[in-house]
């Protein structure tokens, strides 16, 4: 009862204050004063604040910025991920799913005994904390600076291994189809 009467009293006080003559004009003048002060500050600065013409222009990001995940490769094309699931265990949002499989001499994807046959991140749940990157023993999963992650359908936010894996071609390396036959001794 006391709580409700307290709220009612505050509402009445606010209404009364709003109706007081001159109070609205004073608030308006204060607001305009702040705007004008900032305008003058910009005019006297040697380099006024620039408007970036996004997306044609991009602001430089902070060095530790963490956005889109990438599954990286070694220089010889092998995948760094060994399917250990430590990233999934460290993820506070439980948004990583890893399914491991055994490498064989004929089909080798990573230097270790196992590789991730399935690797998925639910980007809607991800909070970009970077714990997965910190937990990874091989430096396989990294968060890079691609921040344009908007999409239209919920299903498109389930990033698969194919979407996350760094293409071998961008390293100027062996073609993808040859990776399964890389000699194990070449692995780092
Ligand atoms: S950045 Fe954080 S929330 Fe996102 S997948 Fe990695 S550990 Fe999970
Ligand atoms: S990304 Fe790293 S931590 Fe996650 S399964 Fe692969 S090797 Fe393990």
pLDDT tens for 14-58 read 666 666 667 788 889 999 999 998 888 877 766 666 788 999 998
Answer whether residue 88 is part of any domain.
yes
Task: Please indicate whether residue 164, judged by its CB atom, sits closer than 6 Å to ligand 2.
Answer: no
Q: Which atom of ligand 2 is nearest to the CA of 82?
A: 7
User: Which CATH number fits the domain that encloses residue 130?
Assistant: 3.30.70.3270
15 and 96 share a domain? no
110 and 18 share a domain? no
Q: How far is CA 32 from CA 25, 36, 38, 186, in A?
A: 10, 6, 10, 68
- The least confident of 15-19, 59-63, 78-82 is 15-19
**Helix intervals (H) in the chain:** 2-19, 23-44, 86-90, 131-135, 161-164
Task: Please indicate whether residue 129, judged by its CB atom, sits closer than 6 Å to ligand 1.
Answer: yes
With 60 as the cut, is the pLDDT of residue 176 above it? no
Pocket perturbation via mutation, ligand 2, pick of 91, 140, 160, 165 by most ligand atoms within 8 A of CB = 140
23 and 109 share a domain? no
38 and 81 share a domain? no
With 50 as the cut, is the pLDDT of residue 185 above it? no
99 and 175 share a domain? yes
Task: Please indicate whether residue 149, judged by its CB atom, sits closer than 6 Å to ligand 1.
Answer: no
87 and 170 share a domain? yes
Answer whether residue 49 is part of any domain.
no
Answer whether residue 108 is part of any domain.
yes
96 and 146 share a domain? yes
In eight-state DSSP terms, residue 79 is: B
Residue-range definition of the domain harbouring residue 127:
69-186
Ligand closest to the CA atom of residue 165: 2
27 and 94 share a domain? no
Answer whether residue 62 is part of any domain.
no
Among residues 140, 137, 83, 136, which one has the least CA distance to residue 114? Answer: 83
Q: Is 8 helix (H, G, I), strand (E, B) or coil?
A: helix
Answer whether residue 58 is part of any domain.
no
169 and 103 share a domain? yes
Answer whether residue 55 is part of any domain.
no
Length of the chain as a residue count: 188
Answer whether residue 103 is part of any domain.
yes
85 and 122 share a domain? yes
182 and 103 share a domain? yes
9 and 98 share a domain? no
For residues 119 and 72, the answer to whether their CB atoms sit within 8 Å is no
The predicted-structure confidence for 117-148, as pLDDT tens digits, reads as follows 999 999 999 999 999 999 999 999 999 999 99
Answer whether residue 64 is part of any domain.
no
The predicted-structure confidence for 100-119, as pLDDT tens digits, reads as follows 999 998 899 999 899 999 99
- Please state the domain count of the chain: 2
Calculate the average pLDDT of the chain: 85
């Amino acid at each position: 009862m006391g709580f409700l009467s307290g709220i009612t009293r505050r509402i009445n006080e606010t209404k009364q204050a709003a109706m007081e003559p001159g109070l609205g004009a004073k608030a308006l003048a204060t607001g305009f004063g702040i705007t004008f002060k900032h305008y003058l500050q910009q005019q006297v600065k040697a380099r006024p604040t620039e408007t970036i013409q996004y997306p044609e222009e991009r602001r430089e990001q902070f060095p530790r910025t963490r956005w889109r995940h990438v599954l990286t490769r070694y220089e010889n094309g092998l995948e760094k991920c060994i399917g250990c699931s430590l990233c999934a265990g460290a993820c506070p949002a439980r948004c990583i799913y890893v399914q491991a499989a055994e490498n064989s001499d004929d089909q080798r994807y990573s230097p270790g005994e196992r590789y991730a046959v399935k690797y998925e991140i639910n980007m809607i749940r991800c909070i970009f904390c970077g714990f997965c990157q910190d937990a990874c023993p091989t430096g396989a999963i990294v968060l890079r600076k691609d921040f344009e992650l908007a999409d239209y359908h919920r299903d498109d936010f389930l990033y698969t291994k194919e979407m996350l894996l760094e293409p071998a071609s961008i390293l100027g390396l062996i073609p993808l189809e040859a990776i399964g036959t890389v000699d194990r001794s070449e692995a780092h």
